[in-house]
């Protein structure tokens, strides 16, 4: 298929600033982002980050490509960590 112009919405429903958007990576089948986002995390609730990848499409509207969910309880506060996620494509029902 053709290359995509992808970006990711990073969402943490339990945080005060609920979502952030990455930059768009143009013309890539294997996009990578090296961006930082800060969330104020509440420690007494289950904090799940949802990463939703979209392909920018100016004609038809942006297409959802994949979703990854991640429980941040395994992260160490104040420690910089790198995570790599393999995503499964989202199909149409």
Nearest Cα to 75, choosing from 47, 45, 40, 35? Answer: 47
pLDDT score at 57: 82
Query: Whole-prediction pTM value?
Result: 0.80
The yes-or-no verdict on residue 36 having pLDDT over 70 is yes
**Contact residues for 86 (Cβ-Cβ < 8 A; gap 6+):** none
pLDDT score at 20: 94
pLDDT score at 89: 66
Cα–chain-centroid distance for residue 5? 14
Residue 89 falls within a domain, yes or no? no
Cα–chain-centroid distance for residue 60? 21
How many domains does the chain divide into? Answer: 1
* CATH number, domain with residue 49: 2.60.40.150
Residue 81 falls within a domain, yes or no? no
Q: What is the DSSP letter of 73?
A: G
- For 51-93, how does the pLDDT look when each residue is reduced to its tens digit (9 = 90+)? 999 999 878 889 998 899 989 888 887 888 888 877 766 655 4
pLDDT score at 26: 93
What is the DSSP pairing of strand 19-21 with strand 4-12?
antiparallel
Q: Which domain holds residue 31?
A: 4-74
């Amino acid at each position: 298929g053709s290359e995509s112009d992808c970006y990711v919405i990073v969402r943490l429903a339990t945080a005060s600033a609920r979502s952030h958007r990455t930059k768009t990576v143009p013309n890539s089948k294997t996009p990578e982002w090296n961006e930082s986002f800060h969330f104020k995390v509440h420690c007494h609730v289950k904090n799940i980050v949802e990463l939703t990848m979209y392909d920018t499409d100016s004609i038809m509207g942006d297409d959802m490509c994949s979703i990854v969910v991640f429980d941040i309880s395994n992260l160490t506060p104040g420690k910089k960590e790198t995570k790599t996620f393999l995503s499964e494509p989202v199909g149409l029902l």
